[in-house]
Chains A and B, each alone.
Chain A
Amino acid sequence: MTAIDLDATSPKHLADKYAIVGVGETEYMRGNGSGRTTRALGVQAIRAAMNDAGLKPGDIDGMLSYSGNDSTFSTFMAGDLGIRLNFYMDVHGGGSSTEALVGIAIGVIEAGLCKTVAIYRAMNGFSQVRIGGTGARSAAPINGDQLHARAYGWQSAGQMFAPTFMRHMHDYGTKPEQVAMVKVIHSEHASNNPKALYKKRMTVDDVLNSRMICKPLHLLDCCVETDNGNCIIVTSADRARDCKHHPVLIRSVVGRCCKPRIDMHYQHGPISTVAGHYAKDILFPNADVKPEDIDITGSYDAFTFTTMLQLEDYGFCKKGEGPTYVSDGTMRLGGKRPNNTSGGHLCEGYTHGIAMVIENVRQLRHDVDDSCPIGPDGKRQHTYDYREGGCRQVKDVELSANLGWAMPGTGSSMIMRRA
């Protein structure tokens, strides 16, 4: 039996047993940057998520974070907030970490190590360690295995993924103007998100006329580097009932599922296929739902292409039909299955995936933070008018899927449902 034949779909008894009860973030910043440490960003985000859940420092006893040598560890966050921890761990990683850490949180709570876990990502991705790879990451010496990549100017995420994107265009006739629609639609969503850094609605021509970075990626095919802190809080469904908001339950999680030869995954083709091809066989059986049951998606948009490739390989459309799926209005607010209703990493800000989970939690609460008026009961009165500056709440949303991306060969995912 090879690794990919292993059945990872046994723990169905965990579906709906855990919940995300608190979400919080700082503002998304560029320009002069955040003007504060990643410690400050993390503390502010965790505090916001605790307040959102109605939890006090004594209610949190677990902490998880992820970073790439560009953040501050859990011990400082817990200390600042007077949280005594029964469990914590800081892991290495960027995109795809959020969903994987939710899986770890469920595992350690289930194992009795702690009862409520705060997961955070705090980064100055614009003003300190540039996520695009300029600055410190470019200056680092090139050693050993890196001679097979960085020595060839093959270093940044866009450069590393370009062969996958280009091969998809070759294999399936994917057109630049189809992929550009991902940016167009996410920018429409961002225009209804007061938090979003880039709120301007973009056109296909805007994308195609922006300067070429690394073919096939124009500037506007790429996400925005920002400074920000974000946090989600995971606890049991039982405890979730005592928290402030309508519970959002976790139905299934896939954590950093890989293609073969993850050290150099291009050795095993088709290189236009990504990790979702494998992850879907864990995600949907564990949740006992099918792609067509999902109301909204959060398909990671480090680039326009990453959103499209994942929607294809997770089975929201047939392989090769991604270009049509992302350009025919399906994933627009008001469409059949809106994607990244916050504007995502292309427009709201770059958080390595955690903000896309936060957005779907708010959607499932039927309480996204748009500009709709707040009623006498303190809840937003959503208009479902998706014109610029208007509503971004999806009507009657019950099930969401987050599709996290680390690289073509590695991805994580999570299905959540409204209790």
Chain B
Amino acid sequence: MALQGTHLGMNLTVDDLDIENIAYFGHCAKHNFHLQRCDDCKLLRYPPTTACPFCTCLESTWVPVEGKGSVHSYGEVHHGIQPQFQKQTPYLILMVDLDTQKGAPTEHDALRVVANLVTPEGQLTSADQVARVGIGTRVQMVFSDLSPGLSLPQWTIDESVPQPKPWRYPE
């Protein structure tokens, strides 16, 4: 069944025909992070796709994946483009390398999942939290609930581990 929700006042939908995204966000709604694992070559992939980008196989199985990783790169938005984000600046767009399958199938590959920096409760963070994060920061996944049946994966600082000194844009 099609998914619908609102996030910061924006309308989000996933059509019923879009079975890969329906499945992906179905797991997210239960606060589970699942990715497709190819039934043939066994590689995980992101984002959800019809075929395996490594071997073209059409069959896959949704498997749980640990939502932990480190920031590979980021953008720090100070001038929002979408009206709903204009009141949220500064906010971070974090591109995170999952620990799972990092460096495979080639050394430069990783499952890179983009989301915002949020509080452990799933709210966009304040400017002082934004200033803590850069390339190398250890993060873990949390979920922002938008409506019954639709939740967005997000990143929050992993406070349970020692943090490396992150690389940040020179001030």
Contact = CB atoms under 8 A, between A and B. Distances in A.
Interface of A: 132-134, 138, 141-145, 147-156, 158-159, 162-164, 166-167, 169-170, 175-176, 211-216, 219, 261, 263-264, 266-271
Contacts of B75: 154, 158-159, 162-163, 166, 214-215
A152 B74 CA distance: 12
B114 interface: yes
Contact of B114 (A152, A156, A263): A152
A145 B112 contact: no
Given A138-B81, A215-B169, A261-B53, A151 B73 contact: no
B79 A213 contact: yes
A147 B152 contact: yes
Contacts of B18: 144-145
Contacts of A141: 11-13
Given A143-B15, A214-B78, A215-B169, A170 B135 contact: yes
Given A138-B82, A159-B93, A267 B13 contact: no
A378 to B, nearest CB: 47
Given A215-B77, A266-B112, 13 more contacts: A141-B12, A147-B21, A153-B84, A153-B93, A154-B114, A163-B73, A163-B75, A166-B73, A170-B135, A176-B170, A215-B76, A266-B114, A268-B108
A169 B79 contact: no
A155 B116 CA distance: 13
Interface string B26-46: 000000000000000000011
A50 to B, nearest CB: 38
B169 A147 contact: no
A224 to B, nearest CB: 15
Nearest to A163: B73
A166 B169 contact: yes
B23 interface: no
Contact of B85 (A153, A162, A211): A153
Given A154-B75, A270-B108, A264 B46 contact: yes
B132 interface: no
Contact of B167 (A144, A170, A215): A170
Interface string B97-119: 00000000010111110111000
Interface of B: 7, 10-15, 18, 21, 25, 45-47, 49, 53, 72-85, 88, 91, 93, 95, 106, 108-112, 114-116, 135, 152, 167, 169-170
Contacts of B91: 153
A150 B84 CA distance: 11
Contacts of B116: 152-153
Nearest to B10: A142
A352 to B, nearest CB: 18
A211 to B, nearest CB: 7
B21 A145 contact: yes
A133 B135 CA distance: 27
Contacts of A159: 75, 77, 81, 93
11 contacts: A141-B12, A150-B10, A150-B82, A163-B75, A211-B78, A219-B79, A263-B49, A264-B46, A266-B114, A267-B112, A268-B108
Contacts of A176: 169-170
A152 B73 CA distance: 15
A169 to B, nearest CB: 7
B77 A214 contact: yes
Contacts of A138: 81-83
A182 to B, nearest CB: 17
A212 B171 CA distance: 12
Most B Cβ at <10 Å: residue of A132, A149, A268: A268
Among B14, B76, B82, B115, the one with the most A-chain Cβ atoms within 10 Å of its Cβ is: B82
B79 A271 contact: no
B95 A153 contact: no
Contacts of B108: 268-270
- The 3 A-B residue pairs with the shortest CB-CB distance, nearest first, are A162-B75, A269-B108, A163-B73
B79 A166 contact: no
B81 A163 contact: no
